[in-house]
Amino acid sequence: MGTGKRGLISAAVTVVCAVTVLAIAPGTAFAAPTPTPTPSASAPSTPVTNGELEVVREKIDRLYREAAAATDAYNAAEEKAKQQSAEIVGLANKIVKGQARLDDLKKRAGAAARAQYRSGGLPDEAHLMLSDDPQEFLDGAGRVLQGERATKALIQEMTRTQQDLEQYAKDASAQWKKLEANRKDKATAQKKIKKQIAAAEKLESELEKDEKKRLAELERQAAYEAQTAWLDTGVLDDVQGKATAAGKKAVAYATAQIGKPYEWGAEGPKTYDCSGLTSQAWLAAGDVIPRTSQEQWKQLKSVDIKDMRPGDLIIYFDDASHVAMYIGDGAIVHAPRPGRTVTVAGAGSMPILGVVRPGA
């Protein structure tokens, strides 16, 4: 490796703190890692050490985790934008109907006013004196009284309708402002996602072929050690939960997507991000769950690990930025990160925040 590249990696060593592994390489999650290949005779005289590659791995992992958190923010803004757009459409329909109602009320009020004008607007005493039939007058007076009450009710309804229209307009304006704010949030998250992914890909691209193989091996090693340590705690000794009919459908859907690429913001059918996979799997099972891993963590019922069953969702990292579906026997299916595909992995290969259950 040239001095420039070695200088870049050495600089990375000095500025990057260790972070927990996020993604694992596609393939078997439980196989013991193979020995690190020894440098060949043609290797550079000053090869990058495994320690230096480990720092690079941790930096790449951190960048992808930050991209995952930004993806959650993007997805949340997208969901809010969809809801606000629907609310604006609903308010627009109410305004159209309300305006039509107001126009009808105005016509009726106009007709009532014209009828009153034609009656001459004489006081009741004059009508009584001019009438040849007192009973006819009384009947007419009753009708006039009813008409006055109807006119009063008509005016009140017109007032309420007008107030409703004004409120609908205010609500629509407020929703537009929220929609614009969420569009800005989406744009900000999108920029961060692209920036973090580009930085991670740049780091990987600067490695030589042999170094990339060793980096992949370090990823598998980290995932294997984390999974082994998790299993050694005996955490699965009491796990005997069986999948429900809906859980089986969700697992079947998720595992059928194995091999499809990760794409941030994607909900299938060709590509997925982590929460896009879990939300679509449970939608296929007949249950609508939140779109993002953070909202899945907040809104779904929490269960103890000892009580988890296939179909439950395991939330990872302190910021709930990753989610996977438990499929049994200590394994998960998930969409790991950009550049990877939907795959099976060890449930303990990443730091677990908790377990939640859709359909509870």
CB 282 within 8 A of CB 294: no
Handedness of CA 75, 79, 82, 85 (dihedral sign): negative
Write out the E strands in 96-196. Answer: none
With 0-12 CB in 10 A as exposed, 13-18 as middle and 19+ as buried, what is 23? Answer: buried
Q: Give catalytic residue positions.
A: 274, 322, 334
Residue of 70, 36, 53, 66 lying closest to 1 (CA atoms)? 53
Q: Identify which of 277, 320, 74 has the alpha carbon closest to the alpha carbon of residue 193.
A: 74
Q: How many residues does the chain have?
A: 360
Residue 107 phi, psi (nearest 5)? -65, -45
Alpha carbon distance 76, 78 (integer Å) = 5
